[in-house]
Amino acid sequence: SQQGEEDPQALSIQEGENATMNCSYKTSINNLQWYRQNSGRGLVHLILIRSNEREKHSGRLRVTLDTSKKSSSLLITASRAADTASYFCATDAGRDDKIIFGKGTRLHILP
């Protein structure tokens, strides 16, 4: 069963614009992670935010976490064609050290 649910399911934006994806989850977590997957390939770990953190940055990525609303957002600034991919949030509830993925947001950057 999915713990995280990304929104929107698909997003198309012009190159240079910012892209925002959201993730909602159901139970308390130890941390939340974001991954990127290029078509049919393995997932690439982007960023991990712990439950006691509210915001984290990595290059053009900004992740926020609101544990009271059980939600997270991933912002990609100044998007590039290479950002075209599917983005997944994954939650780690910590009890058994496994992470559960949402169904992902398909991001398409238009030239």
Partner 1 sequence: KAGVTQTPRYLIKTRGQQVTLSCSPISGHRSVSWYQQTPGQGLQFLFEYFSETQRNKGNFPGRFSGRQFSNSRSEMNVSTLELGDSALYLCASSFGGYYGYTFGSGTRLTVV
Report the residue from 102, 105, 106, 107 that binds partner 1 according to the rule CB under 8 A: 102
Three-state SS for the chain is CCCCEEECCEEEEECCCCEEEEEECCCCCCEEEEEEECCCCCEEEEEEEECCCCEEEECCEEEEEECCCCEEEEEECCCCHHHCEEEEEEEECCCCCCEEECCCEEEEEEC
Site string for partner 1, 38-77 (x = CB under 8 A): --xxxxxx--x-x---------------------------
Stretch that binds partner 1, among 18-26, 32-40, 52-60, 64-72 (CB under 8 A): 32-40
By CB under 8 A, residue 98 contacts partner 1: yes
CA quadruple 80, 38, 107, 65: dihedral sign: negative
Tokens of 5: 């649910």
Report the residue from 58, 66, 80, 94 that binds partner 1 according to the rule CB under 8 A: 94
By CB under 8 A, residue 101 contacts partner 1: yes
By CB under 8 A, residue 30 contacts partner 1: yes
Which residues are at the interface with partner 1 (CB under 8 A)? 1-2, 30-31, 33, 35, 40-45, 48, 50, 88, 92, 94, 96-104
